[in-house]
Amino acid sequence: MNKCIIQFWEESEFNSDIKPDGCSIHIDNIERVNYIKKIYNSRGQDIPESYDRISGKEISCFISDTLFEKLLESGSFRLSEIEKNNLISLEEIIFKNYEVF
């Protein structure tokens, strides 16, 4: 297992509930910040009808070698809510003795 950073996301829709929207996984906090800036800066000035945003603080986690290889290629990647839940269930993503940054 390989240590990395996970950031949870949520989706907000106009006149609707807020719902979980997966996570992003990052090799380090610099990549996490850059990833968030890229997402937020791509929106422009107007608030869209539907958008995703970070949910909570980043935490450290451990990921499988397969996921870590993917992470090394890009520095960050995004998982849908279903993918995130499945990978946690399969213990491809593990939260043990995690620390909040």
Give CB contacts under 8 A, 24+ apart, made by 79-87: 79/22, 79/23, 79/24, 79/25, 80/21, 80/22, 81/20, 81/21, 81/22, 82/22, 83/22, 84/22, 84/23
Domain that holds residue 27: 2-94
**Predicted pLDDT at 96:** 77
- Domain assignment present for 45: yes
Does 15 reside within a domain?
yes
Domain for residue 101, yes or no?
no
What global pTM score does this model have? 0.89
Domain count along the chain: 1
pLDDT tens for the 101 residues of the chain, in order: 999 999 999 999 888 889 999 999 999 999 999 999 999 888 878 777 888 999 999 999 999 999 999 999 999 999 999 999 999 999 999 997 645 44
**Residue 8 is assigned to a structural domain of this protein:** yes
CB 36 within 8 A of CB 92: no
Predicted local confidence at residue 97, as pLDDT: 62
